[in-house]
């Protein structure tokens, strides 16, 4: 397995300097609100691709009155130790993240590490997944895909870039019709790929969910349906391009594109006809924890991946069933897990070999 051995934070969020060693299994950070528990998780997440679990501006992460932050860690996979540095730097007058693996920042080395170390996040807002906006549900599905398809974000970035470029041309009264046609070809090609990736992810998720629903003897089944006025399974690229051409006028007025995977929603149902958003808070938590358990099962047993689990404030609304699911998630796989909470007694159901850290007293 792979795991973070430690972390050192310098001029990061509320910390001038902070150092902590980790267990290779379950780590619980507890303490008062504002002590910096989530900040530590964010520091760990900055060794993943992107801007961390909060997706904040890098300039906002630097502690007030300091010029830069720096995070060091040792990551061990089998018998190999990777020395990691994530820090801020200024490029073209902008503050950006710089990431080095063994003092190497080449794309090949970084992509190799990203592929080796997928991250899976449970954040407080994850509990409101079924009540939140369609974009949050799309992002959640995309996060699951990203854990085993490391370049999926490049596909999404290209798609969004082409949508924006098309919008600019439309607003310039088709000043470049040939480039507009090429953009619509690119959008339709990539858009269909995104639809198919998400469809595959939904099918995988439902297959694995059914296993655990049976294991826990839950009296219902869960299904996930795509809500999209445009996409149907028999749509091809030619039809997609034609629809984009037909929508040029309305897209000029409204901006962006009226159709595409950026307009999709994914609705979770219980027993085919009851939306998960209508369940109690605890029941919604049950489904979300089952999703994490199911996806970990897929990653470990079908993709040979060992995700780092970051579970921020996960212990709210934990009835007996939810505790069993969380314990199964912790005990079923040989993974490193980080959890946070305000008090140690919230985690009394965990085994005695859990690494507990009182952040308030550090």
Q: Span 139-152, mean pLDDT?
A: 95
Look at the alpha carbons of 228, 232, 233, 238 in this order and tell me if their dihedral is positive or negative. negative
Segment among 161-165, 169-173, 249-253 with least mean pLDDT: 169-173
Q: How confident is the model at residue 316 (pLDDT cuts 50, 70, 90)?
A: confident
Nearest to 49 by CA among 94, 124, 126, 107: 107
Query: Is 353 a residue whose pLDDT tops 90?
Result: no
174, pLDDT greater than 70: no
Q: Contact at 8 Å (CB) between 212 and 293?
A: yes
Domains in the chain, start-ordered, CATH in brackets?
Answer: 1-129+307-362 (3.40.50.300), 131-278 (1.20.1050.90)
Return the pLDDT at 362: 64
Taking only the tens place, the pLDDT of each residue in 250-282 is: 999 999 999 999 999 999 999 989 999 999 999
Q: Is the pLDDT of residue 171 over 80?
A: yes
Give the pair of three-digit tokens for residue 185. 């070809």
Closest by CA to 277, choosing from 290, 291, 292, 267, is 267
The CA distance from 187 to 191, in Å, is: 6
Q: Looking at residues 23-48, what average pLDDT do you find?
A: 96
Share of the chain above pLDDT 90, in %: 91
Average pLDDT over residues 180-197: 97
Residue 127's pLDDT band (cuts 50, 70, 90):
very high
Which tens digit of pLDDT belongs to each residue from 198-223?
999 999 999 999 999 999 999 889 99
Average pLDDT, whole number, for the chain? Answer: 94
**Is the pLDDT reported for residue 233 higher than 90?**
no
| Other Cβ atoms closer than 10 A to 87 | 20
Q: What percent of the chain shows pLDDT beyond 70? A: 99
């Amino acid at each position: 397995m792979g795991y973070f051995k430690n972390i050192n934070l310098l001029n990061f969020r509320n910390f001038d300097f902070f150092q902590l060693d980790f267990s290779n299994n379950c780590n619980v950070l507890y303490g008062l609100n504002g002590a910096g528990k989530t900040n530590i998780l964010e520091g760990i997440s900055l060794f993943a691709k992107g801007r961390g679990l909060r997706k904040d501006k890098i300039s906002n992460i630097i502690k007030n009155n300091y010029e830069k932050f720096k995070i060091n860690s040792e990551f061990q996979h089998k018998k190999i130790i990777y020395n990691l540095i994530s820090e801020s730097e200024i490029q073209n007058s902008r503050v950006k993240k710089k990431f080095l693996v063994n003092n190497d920042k080449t794309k090949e080395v970084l992509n190799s590490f990203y592929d080796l170390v997928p991250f899976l996040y449970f954040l407080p807002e994850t509990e409101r997944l079924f009540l939140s906006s369609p974009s949050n549900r799309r992002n959640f599905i995309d996060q699951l895909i990203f854990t085993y398809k490391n370049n999926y974000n490049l596909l999404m970035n290209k798609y969004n870039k082409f949508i924006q470029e098309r919008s600019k041309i439309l607003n310039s009264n088709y000043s470049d019709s040939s480039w507009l046609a090429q953009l619509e070809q690119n959008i339709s090609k990539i858009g269909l790929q995104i639809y198919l990736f998400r469809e595959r992810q939904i099918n995988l998720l439902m297959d694995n969910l059914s296993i655990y629903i049976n294991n826990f003897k839950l009296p219902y089944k869960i299904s996930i349906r795509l809500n999209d006025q445009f996409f149907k399974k028999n749509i091809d690229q030619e039809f997609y391009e034609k629809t984009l051409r037909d929508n040029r006028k309305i897209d000029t007025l409204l901006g962006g594109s009226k159709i595409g995977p950026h307009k999709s929603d994914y609705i979770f149902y219980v027993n085919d006809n009851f939306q998960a958003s209508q369940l109690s808070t605890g029941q919604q938590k049950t489904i979300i924890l089952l999703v994490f358990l199911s996806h970990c099962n897929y990653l470990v047993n079908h993709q040979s991946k060992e995700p780092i689990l970051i579970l921020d404030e996960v212990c709210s609304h934990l009835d007996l069933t939810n505790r069993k699911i969380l314990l199964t998630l912790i005990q079923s796989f040989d993974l490193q897990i980080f959890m946070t909470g305000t008090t140690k007694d919230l985690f009394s159901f965990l085994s005695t070999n859990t690494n507990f850290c009182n952040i308030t007293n550090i």
